[in-house]
Amino acid sequence: MSQYASFRAMHRRYVHRWLLVIPFIWQIGLTPLVNTASVRVFSLPLPMVWQMAGILVATAVIGFVFWRDERIEKELGLTDDRDAEGLS
């Protein structure tokens, strides 16, 4: 396999990392859309509930990415000491 092809293969494996963009979209990008005083969730202001939900979303996303990473690295037989992301 050429160096370029192995580079491509490595990147395909880690494509789930793009999920890490979701918390930024949730907690920053969508902030203007939920900035309304007319909706209260259990008496709480909507923008506040939104940001708290964002923390749960972030945890779920990071947790999922962690789980995938661990599985991939186990499949590849990589230990903590070995580089798994193609970092130098």
Q: List interacting residues with other proteins (CB under 8 A).
A: 17, 20, 23-24, 27-29, 31-32, 35-37, 40, 42-48, 51-52, 54-56, 58-59, 61-63, 65-66, 69-70, 80, 83-85, 87-88
Query: CB-wise, 9 or 56, nearer to other proteins?
Result: 56
Distances (CA, A) of 25 to 15, 18, 21, 32, 50: 18, 12, 6, 11, 12
d(CA 49, CA 40): 9
Closest separation in Å from C-beta 57 to other proteins: 8
Query: CB-wise, 5 or 32, nearer to other proteins?
Result: 32
Helix (H) or strand (E) holding 70: helix 46-75
DSSP one-letter string for 39-64: -EETTEEHHHHHHHHHHHHHHHHHHH
Query: CB-wise, 2 or 43, nearer to other proteins?
Result: 43
Query: CB-wise, 6 or 35, nearer to other proteins?
Result: 35
